[in-house]
Amino acid sequence: MRFTLTTTAAVAALTIGLAASAQAQTIRVAHVDPDEWTGSKKGAAAHIFKNIVEGETDLTVELFPAGALGNEDELIGQAQEGLTQVAIVSGAMSKVCPAASVLDIPYTFSSAPVAWEVLDGEFGQALAEHCREQTGLRTLAYGETGFRNFTNSKQEIKSPADMEGLKFRVQPIPLYIEMVKGLGGEPTPIAWTELPNALSTGVVDGQENPVGTIYNNGLHKLQKYMTLDGHVYGADFIVISDEFYESLSPADQEVVSKAGKVAGLMGRAIQQWNTADGVNKVQAEGMEVYSPTADEIKAFADKAQPAVVEYLRDELGDDAEWIDRLQTAVSNTNG
């Protein structure tokens, strides 16, 4: 039997279709960083993405910075549910794609160029595909949150022995707790909002964060020493709902993919500037900054890596293969 719509039903269906079409023409991009793009890595990435997409397609891009739509966990959930289309997130990605946590193995990347080569190469592409299958989110590119470094108020740190007896605030993440334990320090999980008070009152002696985060939040005023050990390289994931991406025309997909790659590069550039500028600024304001030698970094790695790798192998199960794949990729780089 052949069914036909009444005129009223046809108009209603057409209206719904047009509304859906209009909605499909808008890309909502959300992140938790400030919108001020000249100093905000995610802010810069979002703006360049918007400019490229709107300049080369009929798509409209709406930006929701500074946690306007929630924290990173919530942004990932919204992208999976189709409430937003693009999210720029960092550590939260490993909660939905556990294999991504291998990027946090301490002292894996000796420099940013090494990290870029690995993430932009075969390993990064394979990890992105693995995470897409697990989450429904397509990684357009990897940005950068920067290398994390230790600071403290007690003494200069040149070796793991210098960390013994010092209490360090860490994120409430087992991997970071294992890392500080391996280095001989005393890890103390404390919420980010409580960190300044914990440093001021001596609840902890030190903390670890990227240089830009340390300077922009005034943590250098509460700490005397910084060691540029770069123990963990933080990557941003610029992800898009794969269902939404597949709904785009091939021409629009090409532009969106390109915009994502350029956005990732922009985020990296802003973060590199924040780091270099931040080191100069904290030194100018009285902080003592130490850059470890290659041998000293190896001493840190020898202490920190085994405990973290052992923890991750138990935690990841079958996904533990990504530890070995990452280590192989790093050893094959030219950086």
Section 161-185 average pLDDT: 96
Q: Which residue has the tokens 């905000």?
A: 40
What is the spatial distance between Cα 25 and Cα 244, in angstroms, rounded to a whole number?
10
Residue tagged 């005129």 (tokens): 7
Query: Which whole number is the average pLDDT over 215-240?
Result: 97
CATH T-level fold of 147-233+280-331: D-Maltodextrin-Binding Protein; domain 2 (3.40.190)
Q: What pLDDT score does 21 carry?
A: 43
Q: What is the mean pLDDT of residues 112-117?
A: 98
Mean pLDDT of 77-103: 97
Q: What are the residue ranges spanned by the domains of the chain?
A: 7-102+109-144+235-275, 147-233+280-331
pLDDT range class, residue 88, cuts 50, 70, 90: very high
Write the CATH number of the domain with boundaries 7-102+109-144+235-275.
Answer: 3.40.190.170
pLDDT at 39: 86
Are 211 and 280 contacting, i.e. CB atoms less than 8 angstroms apart? no
At residue 141, what is the residue type?
A
| Band (335; pLDDT cuts 50, 70, 90) | low
Average the pLDDT over 168-172 and give the result: 95
Residue 5 has pLDDT above 50, yes or no: no
> To the nearest whole percent, how much of the chain has pLDDT over 70?
92
Rounded Cα distance between 93 and 239, Å, is 10
Q: In what order do the strands lie in the sheet with 60-64?
A: 60-64, 26-30, 86-89, 237-241, 137-142
For position 37, what pLDDT does the model report?
80
pTM of the model: 0.90
